[in-house]
């Protein structure tokens, strides 16, 4: 691992890809939990308003829960620093996208797409799954544009309609 002084992000050179003006690299959640938590709070607050939900479970996730997570995390870094995060959970040949957030000041600039493309490229032999609110049209459109297909819909206990999407392995 080397330290990129300009970005303050630990980089594993064997697993770093540069796409467009952003660099995608693995992150250790324990090292970036406060920053990841801040992204979650801001981005999920926007999503909660978008889907018209008051009590949105991702907003309840604590910084310590992020630090203790056993998930695989990648960050999108620009010259301004860490600006997006994707979190993955591995389950026997399947990779679940547990979260995907972009700093709201950098939304609609392609960082979520870059993070997803990176995950698709390194997990080409795995099925990728994600669950998102059915009402989150921007997320649904993004996933569809990258080959994810709706495999089912369900309602959470609070009535929130969710879609389960899959991108089959290559």
How far is the C-alpha of 79 from the C-alpha of 113, rounded, in Å? 18
Q: What is the pLDDT of residue 20?
A: 52
The pLDDT, as a whole number, for residue 169 is 81
- Give a yes or no: residue 65 inside a domain: yes
At residue 113, the pLDDT reads: 96
Q: Which two tokens stand for residue 99?
A: 């979260």
For 110-139, b/e burial (b = at least 16 CB within 10 A) is: bbbbbbbbbbbebbeebebbbbbbbbbeeb
74-99: average pLDDT: 92
Residue with tokens 């995390």: 73
Predicted TM-score (pTM) of the model is: 0.84
pLDDT at residue number 3: 33
| Lowest mean pLDDT across 22-26, 31-35, 52-56, 139-143 | 52-56
Rounded percentage of the chain residues whose pLDDT exceeds 70:
88
Average pLDDT of 98-107?
91
pLDDT range class, residue 104, cuts 50, 70, 90: confident
Closest CA to 71 of 102, 94, 96, 106: 96
Tell me whether residue 107 is in a domain. yes
Name which residue leads in pLDDT, 31 or 142. Answer: 142
Q: What is the mean pLDDT of residues 35-56?
A: 90
Give the tokens for residue 81.
């620093």
User: To the nearest whole number, what is the mean pLDDT of the chain?
Assistant: 85
User: Quick check: is 160 in a domain?
Assistant: no
**For range 144-159, the mean pLDDT:** 93
33-68 core/surface letters (b: 16 or more CB in 10 A; e: else): bebbbebbeebbeebbeebebeebeeeebeeeebbe
User: Into how many domains does the chain fold?
Assistant: 1
Any domain includes 129: no
SS3 of 10-61 = EECHHHCEEECCEEEEEECHHHHHHHHHHHHHHHHHHHHHHCCCCCCHHHHC
Residue 60 has pLDDT above 60, yes or no: yes
Q: Which residue has the higher pLDDT, 56 or 129?
A: 129
What's the domain range around 58? 2-124
Specify the CATH number for the domain of residue 35. Answer: 3.40.630.30
Place of tokens 């960082």: 111
More confident residue, 15 or 69: 69
Q: Is the pLDDT of residue 99 over 80?
A: yes
46, part of any domain = yes
């Amino acid at each position: 691992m080397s330290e990129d002084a300009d970005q303050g992000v630990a980089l594993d050179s064997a697993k770093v890809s540069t796409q467009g003006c952003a660099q995608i690299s693995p992150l250790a959640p324990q090292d970036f939990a406060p920053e990841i938590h801040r992204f979650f709070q801001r981005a999920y607050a926007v999503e909660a308003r978008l889907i018209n939900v008051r009590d949105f479970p991702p907003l309840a996730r604590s910084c310590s829960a992020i630090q203790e997570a056993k998930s695989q995390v990648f960050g999108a870094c620009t010259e301004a620093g860490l600006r997006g995060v994707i979190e993955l959970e591995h389950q026997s040949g399947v990779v679940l996208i547990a979260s995907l957030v972009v700093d709201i000041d950098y939304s609609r600039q392609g960082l979520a797409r870059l993070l997803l493309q990176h995950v698709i490229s390194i997990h080409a032999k795995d099925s990728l799954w994600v669950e998102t609110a059915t009402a989150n049209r921007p997320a649904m459109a993004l996933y569809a544009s990258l080959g994810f297909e709706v495999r089912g819909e369900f309602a959470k206990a609070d009535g929130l309609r969710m879609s389960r999407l899959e991108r089959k392995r290559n």
